[in-house]
Amino acid sequence: MTDFAPRVATRTGQHGRVDHRQEGKVVTTPAFVDAHVHATATGLALTGLDLHGCRSLADLLGRVEAFARSGRGRVVLGTGWDDTGWPERRPPTCQELDRAAYGGAVYLARVDVHSAVVSSALLAAAPEARSAEGFDDGGHVRLEAHHVVRRAAYAGITSDQRRVAQRATRARAAALGIGSLQEMSGPEVAGRVDLEALLYLAATEPGPAVLAYWGELGGFDVVTDLGLAGAGGDLFCDGSFGSHTAALGTPYTDAPTSGHLRYADEHVADHVRQATAAGIQAGFHVIGDAAIDQVVRAVELVATELGLDAVRAAGHRLEHAEMPRPEHISSMARLGMLASVQPAFDAAWGGPEAMYAQRLGAGRAAALNPLAAYAAAGVPLALGSDAPVTPLDPWGGVAAAVAHRTPGSGLTVEQALHAATVGGWYAARTADPGSHATWDCPTHAELVERALAGEPARCLRTVVAGQVVHDVEGEVTA
């Protein structure tokens, strides 16, 4: 466990003198690590069309129309809509988006970013989507069709737009006490040009450290060329529950499908084999039990071929890993695998009547995201947001991990804080260069109490590798 014990500092006035008008104490803790982020998409939501708060189809269409009017003909990029709670219970059609955007190109990712709705103009720019798996004439695209239109939509982003978005993400993270972001990139996420721009920004401008992954089968040349943390991250073995694309052992409750495994077993095993032999950490996006089973079996196979020690040394990781069976957890612990998890998913979609239960039934839904079982088995955990799927919110993630919607599945406060800080560095197989955050709170106990109550303290300063990357002027001594 990490020593999360805080340091206590005096709050000061602008010139370093104690300001008796605000006299009190502040608490300094390790900075957070967000173990799963998409920086550009998050920044585009922060600076543009964020649809997380939409309460209805009509609300969404109104926001699209307003954004299109101010967009000067640019592609309308939005993310965060979730129709499961809307009165209409359906996403917009292609024709509705055409009218709302005055015929312009529109790409609106569902909240899980594993399906999207698109306009006719965007489909015209990506005609190959019509013959890809997951296409429908109504404009709701999934699977390969979704990847095709996503690439077309993001191709229209200018370098200035990208830079503004990435800066916005890093600034928001620093203001929240996050000292490191683990970027999950890949050819179908944002692409190499986007990743290179982010790495350059991180190397030349103050902000949270960026540890990057590349999600492409066999994409080891990119990992080596760019000095990345690993070959994986969002290497999509399946999709999501919300889009009915997470791969399940038995069908969904509300749809006649079991989801979709994207790769053949031998391709997954070959990726793990090559990564292990090269001493590179492999990683996979897996949500359903069938997807987790596929990857764990692949790592087991490679362990018999190259040796258990070689596999354990690589520290292969799973992203999300929401629906493991007990045997998966046991195998992960024995194989030295890590779990990068998002407690905010449970807060958003867990419980007896929310999206998980709608898709899977209450019984299977209650077994999702078994954080306590991972911890008890000795599987190292790192907490992330998957922003923009859920917002950058480290204290919210800690609170969700502790207050799990399924009794007995949550972490202790100490476990959650460890997973949100040191656990992230450990998952990326690197050391914290020295990062901490200072909070507007008099005691450690109150700091945690406020976070668990949903009223986290304000971050006054964030320091990464000895450099101040966020500072509320005049509040804290050096």
Beta strands in 143-203 (DSSP E): 178-185
Looking at residue 228, its pLDDT comes to: 97
Residue type, 219: G
What one-character-per-residue DSSP string does 13-34 give?
-TTSSB-GGG--EEEEEEPEEE
Looking at residue 75, its pLDDT comes to: 87
What one-character-per-residue DSSP string does 92-144 give?
PPHHHHHHHTTT--EEEEETTSSEEEE-HHHHHH-GGGGGSTT--TTSEEEHH
Looking at residue 15, its pLDDT comes to: 30
| Mean of all residue pLDDT scores within the chain | 92
In sequence order, what are the residues at sequence separation of 6 or more whose Cβ sits closer than 8 angstroms to the Cβ of residue 297?
A: 265, 269
Q: How far is CA 461 from the centre of its chain?
A: 24
Looking at residue 20, its pLDDT comes to: 25
- Tell me which residues of the chain have a pLDDT lower than 50: 1-2, 6-23
In sequence order, what are the residues at sequence separation of 6 or more whose Cβ sits closer than 8 angstroms to the Cβ of residue 472?
A: 458, 459, 460, 461
Looking at residue 189, its pLDDT comes to: 86
Looking at residue 460, its pLDDT comes to: 97
- pTM of this structure: 0.89
What tokens does 387 get? 């922003």
Read off the pLDDT of residues 354-366 as tens digits, 9 standing for 90 and up: 999 999 999 999 9
Looking at residue 10, its pLDDT comes to: 43
List the 49-50 sheet strands across, edge first.
49-50, 76-81, 106-110, 115-118, 140-142
Looking at residue 453, its pLDDT comes to: 96
Give the side-chain half-sphere CA count within 13 A for 81: 28
CB atoms within 10 A of CB 362: 13
Looking at residue 258, its pLDDT comes to: 98
Q: Name all domains of the chain by residue range, CATH numbers in brackets.
A: 7-29+436-471 (no CATH), 45-154 (3.10.310.70), 162-421 (3.20.20.140)
CA distance 173 to 181: 8
CB atoms within 10 A of CB 151: 16
**Beta-ladder partners of 184:** 213
Residue with structure tokens 């190397």?
Answer: 203
In sequence order, what are the residues at sequence separation of 6 or more whose Cβ sits closer than 8 angstroms to the Cβ of residue 173?
A: 34, 37, 181, 207, 208, 392
